[in-house]
């Protein structure tokens, strides 16, 4: 009955929050989340203080859709939706799982850093199109994928191309032709067939300028009869470059349209997508690397100066600025983070580390709980069915209630902050009894005996010094600091740290199960 009463109390609390602050129910659920909406007609950057890298954006009637890179996390290609470019919620994913290689199942190896890179999104004649590249890594050939759907929520259909189109930008021209702009420093255009599901004309080189090393992340637009390609150069410390031509194949002239790192010195605003409002205004969503927290999007106004889309104001990104002028007033919203596990489907905030084994997790085996069954793994990096979501700046906290009564000897289940290195606090089942452990970079730092099946775990993430600390409770109220501090890193390049729920067994394929009652921020 405890769970029932807890759930029944929440609507009263949410209603009070709604009446007293005017925020949405989703915001009330996500109590620890950053919001850029100041509530007075202005917004502040960053737009979402978490890992939403390589953004691209479109408008379809009154709604805006934002797509992002997701690497080896599944489902892939997250898509968010907004009515005003400031308040965002998750809409879905363009990719359910990767079926092309058993290593995406963590069989015979892994696919860390592989999967979906630099996604592009467009809408044309009633269909959504989401494209991405899977990179050439470790001597293996890369490829390009196109996913299509009638509704943003899906279902999506994926087509894998034999061609490799790096950092693709999909473009539908007004004469019916379809192109992808792609490449790194050397930029190419490849024409697709009219359904955008295969190559019509092989790639054609259109630009190469050594003054713009690593020019990538290209997205193409046509404005007043001219073709514009916006891309990033210089990597993390980079700047945004615009190429402009009267013909799609050039010749192209170029201009730096923003070079600014004032909001995070050393790391410049770079790579993103541009969108036009109904009233004719243009805006740009552009990312900025913020170390182990991730590549964080900023929202910037665009001013057309001498036919060039200049980003920000007077060459600088904005800190606080009037919100875009749209027809509808949007309540304050943020992507969900907390989950009571009361639904038959996972919340859209969650992604698995590699493909999940669907036979080994459930939301129905014990209603109101997420059940993770343990598969065999030497450590957390090799464990399947590790469920993750983004950490956030400037501070974020994740808490779980874990029932470990179903664990078997060799099982380890708990809450972690995952990247390379990673750390976690969890329950380790022994032949006789169980113990609470804190593990940092695969070294066991602290151990205490645990004489109950239920325990509460907490991880706290600090953006200022990129650290994470851990604690536990045996009553759900009083938390005891446990173990040492994780110095968060980026051993997996370009991939942020994440909260992680897990259960794996170090000795047997036939482990037990862990029940997570809720995850809260």
Tens place of pLDDT per residue across the chain (521 aa): 333 333 333 333 333 333 333 333 333 333 458 999 999 999 999 999 999 999 999 999 999 999 999 999 999 999 999 999 999 999 999 999 999 999 999 999 999 999 999 999 999 999 999 999 999 888 889 999 999 999 999 999 999 999 999 999 999 999 999 999 999 999 999 999 999 999 999 999 999 999 999 999 999 999 999 999 999 999 899 999 999 999 999 999 999 999 999 999 999 999 999 999 999 999 999 999 999 999 999 999 999 999 999 999 999 999 999 999 998 888 999 999 999 999 999 999 999 999 999 999 999 999 999 999 999 999 999 999 999 999 999 999 999 999 999 999 999 999 999 999 999 999 999 999 999 999 999 999 999 999 999 999 999 999 999 999 999 999 999 999 999 999 999 999 999 999 999 999 999 998 999 999 999 99
**CA distances in angstroms from 244 to 206, 272, 275, 303, 460, listed in the order given:** 11, 17, 17, 16, 46
For 23, left (φ over 0), alpha (ψ -120 to 50), or beta?
Answer: beta
Residues near 364 by beta carbon (within 8 Å), at least 6 away in sequence: 344
Can you read off the two tokens belonging to residue 418?
């995952």
Catalytic, 54? Answer yes
Outline which parts of the chain fall under CATH 2.115.10.20.
52-322
- In angstroms, rounded to a whole number, what is the distance separating the alpha carbons of residues 394 and 341? 26
Question: Does 216 participate in catalysis according to the annotation?
Answer: yes
* Residues 6+ positions from 478 with CB-CB distance below 8 Å: none
Whether residue 230 contacts residue 257, with contact meaning beta carbons closer than 8 Å, is answered with yes
How crowded is residue 40: how many other Cβ atoms within 10 Å of its Cβ? 9
Catalytic pick among 37, 84, 216, 339: 216
Domain with CATH 2.60.120.200 in the chain: 351-520
Give pTM, 2 decimals: 0.92
The correct answer on CATH 3.90.550.10 for the domain covering 351-520 is no
> Sign of dihedral through CA atoms 20, 26, 28, 32?
negative
CATH topology of domain 52-322: Tachylectin-2; Chain A (2.115.10)
Chain position carrying tokens 């092989």: 202
**Residue of 37, 51, 54, 56 marked active site:** 54
How much is the pLDDT for 239? 96
The closest of 235, 288, 299, 292 to 464, measured between CA atoms, is: 292
pLDDT at residue 139 in the model = 85
């Amino acid at each position: 009955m405890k769970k029932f009463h807890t759930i029944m109390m929440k609507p009263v609390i949410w209603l009070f929050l709604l009446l007293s602050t005017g925020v949405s129910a989703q915001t009330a659920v996500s109590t620890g989340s950053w919001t850029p909406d100041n509530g007075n007609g202005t917004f502040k950057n960053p737009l979402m203080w978490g890992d939403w890298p390589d953004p691209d954006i479109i408008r379809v009637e009154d709604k805006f859709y934002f797509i992002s890179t997701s690497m080896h996390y599944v489902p892939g290609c997250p898509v968010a939706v907004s009515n005003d470019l400031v308040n965002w919620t998750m809409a879905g994913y363009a990719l359910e799982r990767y079926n092309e290689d058993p290593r995406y199942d963590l069989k015979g190896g892994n696919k860390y850093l592989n999967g979906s890179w630099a996604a592009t999104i467009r809408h044309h004649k009633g269909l959504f199109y989401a494209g991405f590249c899977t990179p050439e890594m470790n001597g293996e050939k890369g490829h390009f994928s196109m996913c299509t759907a009638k509704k943003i929520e899906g279902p999506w259909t994926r087509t894998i191309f034999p061609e490799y189109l790096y950092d693709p930008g999909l473009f539908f021209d007004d004469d019916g032709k379809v192109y992808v702009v792609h490449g790194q420093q050397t930029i190419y255009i490849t024409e697709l067939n009219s359904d955008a599901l295969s190559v019509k004309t092989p790639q054609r080189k259109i630009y190469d300028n050594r003054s713009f090393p690593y020019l990538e992340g290209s997205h193409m637009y046509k404005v007043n009869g001219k073709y514009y390609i916006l891309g990033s150069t210089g990597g993390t410390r980079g700047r945004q470059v615009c190429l402009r031509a009267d013909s799609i194949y050039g010749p192209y002239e170029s201009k730096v349209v923003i070079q600014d790192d004032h909001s995070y010195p050393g790391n410049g605003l770079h790579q993103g997508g541009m969108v036009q409002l109904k009233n004719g205004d243009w805006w740009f969503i552009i990312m900025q690397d913020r170390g182990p927290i991730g590549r964080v999007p900023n929202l910037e106004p665009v001013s057309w100066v001498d036919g060039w889309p200049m980003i920000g104001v007077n060459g600088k990104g904005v800190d606080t600025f009037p919100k875009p002028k749209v027809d509808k007033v949007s309540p304050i919203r943020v992507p969900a983070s907390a989950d009571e596990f009361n639904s038959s489907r996972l919340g859209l905030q969650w992604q698995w580390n590699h493909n999940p084994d669907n036979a080994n997790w459930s939301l129905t085996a014990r209603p109101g709980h997420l059940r993770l069954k343990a598969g065999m793994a030497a450590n957390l990096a090799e464990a399947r069915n590790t469920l993750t979501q983004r950490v956030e700046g400037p501070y974020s906290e994740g808490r779980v209630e874990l029932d470990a009564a179903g664990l078997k000897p060799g099982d380890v289940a708990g809450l972690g902050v995952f990247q390379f290195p990673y750390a976690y606090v969890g329950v380790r089942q022994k032949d006789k009894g169980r113990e609470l452990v804190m593990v940092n970079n695969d070294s066991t730092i602290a151990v205490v005996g645990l004489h109950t099946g239920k325990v509460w775990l907490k991880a706290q993430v600090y953006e200022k010094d990129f650290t994470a600390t851990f604690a536990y409770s045996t009553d759900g109220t009083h938390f005891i600091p446990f173990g040492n501090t994780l110095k968060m890193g980026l051993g997996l390049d370009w991939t942020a740290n994440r909260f992680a729920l897990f259960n794996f067994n170090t000795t047997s394929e036939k482990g037990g199960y862990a029940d997570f009652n809720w995850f809260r921020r």
